[in-house]
Structure 1
Amino acid sequence: MHLEHPVTFPERHTGGAEPLLPDGSRRAVRVGLGGPVGSGKTATVAALCRALRGRWSIGVVTNDIYTREDAEFLRREAVLSPERIVAVETGACPHTAIRDDISANLEAVEELEARVGPLDLILVESGGDNLTATFSRGLVDAQIFVIDVAAGDDIPRKGGPGLTGADLLVVNKTDLAPHVGSDLAVMARDARAQRGELPVAFTSLREPDGVRPVADWVVGRVAAWRAAG
């Protein structure tokens, strides 16, 4: 079948977000977390909040298609006070709300900072998506992509802009590798081949302070953001 009309695509917001708030102060660093369903994005957000909440003022925006499940989980776990966690129901494929039409997320981020701020860090969690998921630079300043070993050690070889272009790739659930037949050395090799010099962190959130490689990377991003100011 041939289309008789031109194909159009949604406008993508690719410009960097304004770094200053209306009062002239530097706004919070915004870090997006994307990745496939079940890879451990929400658990990573929870662990980051626990690791960093004593150091910084943090807020979280979660994305689900039709529910507020992830935000409710974070509130039940008391990783932050409830008013610091807000939910966006995208009503469509998750990547639409983080890359193509970011208006709902951008409004949630800005309202959160205005209501609870000043904040140092805002974590924006995408709904579960595939290897093409990427964030608009108009929404976040840096992005983390989370995969897990249970999905197979061939995932890094499959590439995709989320995996190859994210500022940090997280290979999660390393404790499961012996049980699912995944070779962590192979995953590390293939991730390097796909990502070049971009960093990769291996995590097991079942281990004490298992999120530390990711937390250290976030600390570095916040330090760089403040230095730029």
Structure 2
Amino acid sequence: MAETPATPARAFRLGVAGPVGTGKTSLIGLLCRELADEIEMGVVTNDIYTDEDAQILRAAGVLEIDRIRAVETGACPHTAIRDDVTPNLIAVEDLEADHGPLDLVLVESGGDNLTATFSPALVDAQIFVLDVAGGGDVARKGGPGIARADLLVVNKTDLAPYVEVDVERMLSDASDARDGGPVIGLSRHDRASVDALTDWVRRMTAAVREGRHTPVDPGPMAPHSHADEDGNVTVHTHEHGHGHDDLVPGRAV
């Protein structure tokens, strides 16, 4: 008789990143509505100065209120998902301590740029989210987030006619930018695309549970700049001083 796989010591941690307004919070809400009856879930959201995303999900009733935790990063969003992941790790671990064992914890980054990647010290796999309203050319611009996340989602495809975007072209560009890595065009109004997303999450959850997926580093963020309140611009990079290796993302076998 085949042995039943042991319950993992901790939940599968899935990061969700992408620029502001691409629909990260709504995607997480969709996953909670679709999967909460079959998968034990929790959510950790990131905002710079508020807990607004957590409040949106709590108000929507997608999970029990206490299964949705908020981290106020107080700095650039990528700082809390890559450079110093301690506040997020504490939030995830507290969530699991209070409600575990959990199968899946979704960690939502604050809205960031095309270079945003999670540290493998925080998540086991990551989804990067674009949307058609951001422009049909965004996918082919590339960057670590687009190229190396475990899954790229092109969201809000139902809006394409209103913003004059060729969805098929955008998806093709995205596939090229990812060397054929998985890409899903998503609309919450399109059942087939919702099923494709939830199926990917189910399969990745099973792969992590069964030890068939190893988290690795998508690579450092590209050089980028930030302007302060006085308009002064600082350009900086995130190098390997944090102990990360420049590797492509792991894939489920």
Q: TM-score range by the shorter chain?
A: 0.7 to 0.9
Deviates more, 1:69-78 or 1:201-210: 201-210
Match of 2:171 among 188, 194, 201: 188
Question: Which residue does the alignment assign to 2:63?
Answer: 80
Question: Which residue does the alignment assign to 1:42?
Answer: 25
Question: Which residue does the alignment assign to 1:143?
Answer: 126
Higher relative contact order (CA 8 A, sep 6+): 1
State the alpha-carbon separation in 1 of the partners of residues 39 and 8 from structure 2. Answer: 16
* Residue 51 of structure 2 corresponds to residue 54 of structure 1: no
* Residue 192 of structure 2 corresponds to residue 205 of structure 1: no
Report the CA distance between 1:124 and its aligned residue.
0.2
Question: Which residue does the alignment assign to 2:147?
Answer: 164
State the alpha-carbon separation in 1 of the partners of residues 193 and 33 from structure 2. Answer: 12
Deviates more, 1:198-207 or 1:173-182: 198-207
* Structure 1 residues 7-38: Cα deviation after superposition (integer angstroms, max 9, x where no partner): xxxxxxxxxxxxxxxxx952110000000111
Query: 1:44·1:211 contact (CA, 8 Å) conserved in 2?
Result: no
* Structure 1 residues 135-190: Cα deviation after superposition (integer angstroms, max 9, x where no partner): 00000000000000011110011111001110000000000101101111211221
Question: Which residue does the alignment assign to 1:33?
Answer: 16
Matched residues, number: 206
Report the CA distance between 1:210 and its aligned residue.
4.8
State the alpha-carbon separation in 1 of the partners of residues 169 and 192 from structure 2. Answer: 24
Deviates more, 1:189-198 or 1:86-95: 189-198
Report the CA distance between 1:211 and its aligned residue.
2.5
Match of 1:152 among 135, 141, 145: 135
Amino acid aligned to 1:118? P
Query: 1:202·1:213 contact (CA, 8 Å) conserved in 2?
Result: no
Amino acid aligned to 1:202? G
Change (3 A) 1:161 1:25: closer
Amino acid aligned to 1:174? T
Change (3 A) 1:97 1:176: same
SS at the partner of 1:128?
coil
Amino acid aligned to 1:41? K
**With structure 1 as the length reference, what TM-score do the two structures score?**
0.87
State the alpha-carbon separation in 1 of the partners of residues 194 and 71 from structure 2. Answer: 25
What is the Cα-based RMSD across aligned positions, in Å? Answer: 1.4
- Which runs of 5 or more residues in structure 1 are unaligned? 1-23
State the alpha-carbon separation in 2 of the partners of residues 213 and 39 from structure 1. Answer: 18
- Which runs of 5 or more residues in structure 2 are unaligned? 1-6, 213-253
Match of 2:104 among 121, 130, 135: 121
Percentage of pairs with the same residue: 60
Question: Which residue does the alignment assign to 2:211?
Answer: 228
Deviates more, 1:155-164 or 1:202-211: 202-211
* Residue 166 of structure 2 corresponds to residue 174 of structure 1: no
Amino acid aligned to 1:68? D
Query: 2:21·2:111 contact (CA, 8 Å) conserved in 1?
Result: yes
Match of 1:63 among 46, 53, 56: 46
**With structure 2 as the length reference, what TM-score do the two structures score?**
0.79
